[in-house]
Structure 1
Amino acid sequence: MRIALVNNNKPVSIKLAEEFLSKIKATGIAIDDENPDLVVTIGGDGTLLSAFHKYQHLLSTVRFVGVHTGHLGFYTDWRDYEIEDLIESLKHDKGESVSYPLLDVRVSYNNGEESDRFIALNEAVLKKVDGTMVCEIFVKEELFETFRGDGICVSTPTGSTGISKSLGGAVIHPRTEAIQLTEMASVNNRVYRTLSSPMIIAKDEWIVVKPIEEHGLIFTVDHLTFRDKKIDQLIYRIAKERVHFARYRHMHFWNRVENAFIGIANNHKQDRK
């Protein structure tokens, strides 16, 4: 098995990465940053996002496993003090994995620039900071609404716990083959109307967004940001690729949600008893 390591620049992560490399080399497992079978990340969910985009051209063959050195993440299964246990699992790896859906985003431009294709693990956001963003939103080929507001977010099921949730979106189990659109501060009055509620789009459907004005738009894909692109339209759908995580031990998705958003409150309740 060939392993690549990606870590953030925090001192605790750098130190742990050095420890990991020293111990993994003693096992005889190969380190291969170019064509790994498995990518280990040390840091947090942001570090794993960076690794995902670095190796997205290998999604059909590579698996990811994350070690978190801060707060518990949705993609990072291992704690910093569990390096020995992780290495032991790597030594006895049998190809265990779980896969999640991804977001396919096609972007075309009206200035002759070649179209782009992006894959998102979490979400893609289109917004306008200075002024109101106006765009037409289609479901498949049918116009659904003309949106006016700060922006829109389209997320994957695993990304539903991020920006989408902060906008009032639903938390979606990652076995669900769907994408979710949530609005950012939509304008709703007697003249302008939008649905205002999150929309969950089925696997065989897609979303088309056509900005009315191209100036001042900010387009993000996970942690990647693109400014002042002359966007003609965006098409969002479930990607044909999937992301694969090495799962040597399983934590139920709803346990992750509870730990991330409710666990601390529950601990406080127990302390007060």
Structure 2
Amino acid sequence: MFKYVIIANDYPESLALAQKLKIILTDREMQEDIIAPEYVFVIGGDGTLLRAVNEFQDILDEVCLIVVKSGSLGFYANYDEKTVTQAIDDIINDTAHIQQLPLLEVKFNNNQIRYALNEVKIVDHVKTIRTDIYINDELLEYFRGSGLVFATSTGSTGYMRAIGGAIILSNKHKLWEMKEIAPVANSTFSTITAPLILDDSQSVILEGELIDKQIIIDTYEYEANNNLVEIKFSDKTLNLIYNHRQNQSTTAKLQTLFAYCNNVNKRGDR
């Protein structure tokens, strides 16, 4: 017997699948526990997964997540309604395959710590952000612009890609990325502007006029109340149970994602 919780988005098909899954788990004498589950079943897309990551920040490295696709395309999901029972069987039989996904650790507001699966953004779309960027306590540059974004390798396919960042394909190396958002550039001042690839030995410290700036961690927003933010590769990982029978490489997932987007654009679907 194991303890579980189900998190689903608000679409009718997802809620129906959640109810069906709860019946299956109850019939197998599994115990629902919304506070300290061992397994989190996520029904929906990547946004629903980010919600689960946010809800279980304090025990992220102690739980395993199973992402079940429901409707929309999910970059992290490789189970569906037909195969989710395989995940339950694999857990019971101790044959589940676990993929450890990288997390970024963000320290802000007097040592408050949060973890990001996709990206961290520090932004102000009204006033220019003025902050100094240090890498391992060594000054990199005096940044002036609308913001900065930091992404994991898996997160680099999302917002980071949309603003001209690099996609990190490597699975063998612990890499993450920094990119400037709308940096100031004129005849007297300019910044690096190019994406910066970092490894797990490097941390970034931002020190400057950050009070009241927005800190967005996987779509969840916080307001900075001091002038210091630290971002680094976390020692913690997200434990994702995946369907090894249908597992795709990152390259294959990218091909599927872009093919899906191209087809949507051709049809004019919304």
TM-score (norm 1): 0.87
CA shift at 1:88, angstroms? 4.5
CA shift at 1:34, angstroms? 2.6
TM-score (norm 2): 0.88
| 2:197 aligns with one of 188, 195, 200 | 200
Please tell me the residue identity of whatever aligns with 1:124: V
Please tell me the residue identity of whatever aligns with 1:178: L
Q: Which segments of 5 or more consecutive residues in structure 1 lack a partner in the other structure?
A: 109-113
CA shift at 1:95, angstroms? 3.8
- 2:238 pairs with 1:237: no
Contact 1:101 1:157 (C-alpha < 8 Å) held by counterparts: yes
Residue 214 of structure 2 corresponds to which residue in structure 1? Answer: 218
Q: Which segments of 5 or more consecutive residues in structure 2 lack a partner in the other structure?
A: none
| 1:120 aligns with one of 97, 116, 119 | 116
Measure the CA separation in 1 of the matches of 2:210 and 2:263. Answer: 47
Q: 1:268 to 1:225 in 2, by over 3 A?
A: closer
| 1:159 aligns with one of 155, 160, 167 | 155
Residue 253 of structure 2 corresponds to which residue in structure 1? Answer: 256
Measure the CA separation in 2 of the matches of 1:235 and 1:84. Answer: 41
Please tell me the residue identity of whatever aligns with 2:229: L
Measure the CA separation in 2 of the matches of 1:35 and 1:212. Answer: 38
Identity %: 25
CA shift at 1:73, angstroms? 1.1
Give the 3-state SS of the residue equivalent to 1:219 in structure 2: strand
How does 1:1-273 map onto structure 2 within 5 Å? 1-108=2-109, 114-173=110-169, 174-212=171-209, 214-215=211-212, 217-227=213-223, 229-249=224-244, 250-263=247-260, 265=262
Q: 1:231 to 1:80 in 2, by over 3 A?
A: farther
Contact 1:127 1:152 (C-alpha < 8 Å) held by counterparts: yes
Contact 1:100 1:175 (C-alpha < 8 Å) held by counterparts: no
CA RMSD of aligned residues (A): 2.3
Task: Answer with 54-63 or 243-252: which moved more.
Answer: 54-63
